[in-house]
Amino acid sequence: MRCVAIIPARWHSTRFKGKVLADINGKPMIQHVWERVKCAHMIDEIIVAVDKEKVFKVVESFGARAVYTSPEQPSGSDRLAEVANSIEADVIVNIQADEPLVHPLMIDDLAQVFEYEKNAQMATIVKRIHNRDDISNPNVVKVVLDRKGYALYFSRSPIPYLRDDEGAPAEEKYRTNDDDISGRYFKHVGLYSYTKEFLFTYTNLPKSTLEKEEKLEQLRVLEHGYRIKTIETRYETIGVDTPEDIEKVRSLLAHRGGGSV
């Protein structure tokens, strides 16, 4: 299978404009992401999809391949499909441009999942929640799984809801030691892979009610009757949504010795 990783690097962001070029320890954030994808073994090609000349020039300056996509594309997956339409690939891996701590093993897992899951058409990454505050944080997307590791639902709300503890304070309701919820709560890490064929199916589906209500694009897949295979990771990432998140990443990278994985 030929696997191509595409990194949609959109300049505009509601909360943090231009974050893809934000400096992190002397490098733009998009370069950190690209370098980590380069460390993956299962990727045959990496493409950075940009919508601004300034991003294009920076991406080319550190040796990556950049291609323009229309600034009118409504979502990252639509930008992905625009690029995928003109390349040779069996599998497309979608890497978020605001995930400078993405681990290469996550990418390899997404790239090769279709070799052993013959019925899978789309996959994503999940991680067990160990921070109690994440469970009730609407910015941390939760996911519940079936026994075969396919997603049943994604939500910004705590799922599963602990009915027996109704009325209990949050610090008691969502404890995180090994005797209570550890292993029951998963957060969604926004990395995806698709068969090229299914990527076009997905982007041509009409927006769903659940997608609009939760503001979670992946719910479109579930509501239209398709399935999403999940892969559990042990690696922690930080999605950069605000300038404050940049400081967290800088600190972690410095602690790790400048960016080693």
Domain boundaries, the chain: 3-241
Q: For 38-47, how does the pLDDT look when each residue is reduced to its tens digit (9 = 90+)? A: 999 999 999 9
Q: Considering only CA atoms, give the Rg of the chain.
A: 18
At 223, give phi and psi (nearest 5°). -70, -25
User: Which one of 3.10.450.50, 3.30.9.10, 3.90.550.10, 3.40.50.720 gives the CATH number of domain 3-241?
Assistant: 3.90.550.10
Is the pLDDT at 179 greater than 60? The verdict is no
Is the pLDDT at 257 greater than 70? The verdict is no
Q: Is 23 helix (H, G, I), strand (E, B) or coil?
A: strand
pTM over 0.85: yes
Query: How far apart are the C-alpha atoms of 138 and 75, rounded to whole Å?
Result: 20
Q: Return the higher-pLDDT residue of 215 and 258.
A: 215
Q: For 84-131, how does the pLDDT look when each residue is reduced to its tens digit (9 = 90+)? A: 999 999 999 999 999 999 999 999 999 999 999 999 999 999 999 988
Is the pLDDT at 48 greater than 50? The verdict is yes
User: CA 177, 180, 182, 184: dihedral to nearest 10 degrees?
Assistant: -160
> Residue 75: which of 188, 222, 216, 187 has the closest Cα?
216
Confidence of residue 245 (pLDDT cuts 50, 70, 90): confident
Q: Is 51 helix (H, G, I), strand (E, B) or coil?
A: coil
Confidence of residue 178 (pLDDT cuts 50, 70, 90): very low
ω into 243 cis (within 30 of 0) = no
Q: Can you list the positions of beta strands (E) in the chain?
A: 3-9, 23-24, 27-28, 45-50, 66-68, 91-94, 122-128, 142-145, 151-155, 186-195, 229-232
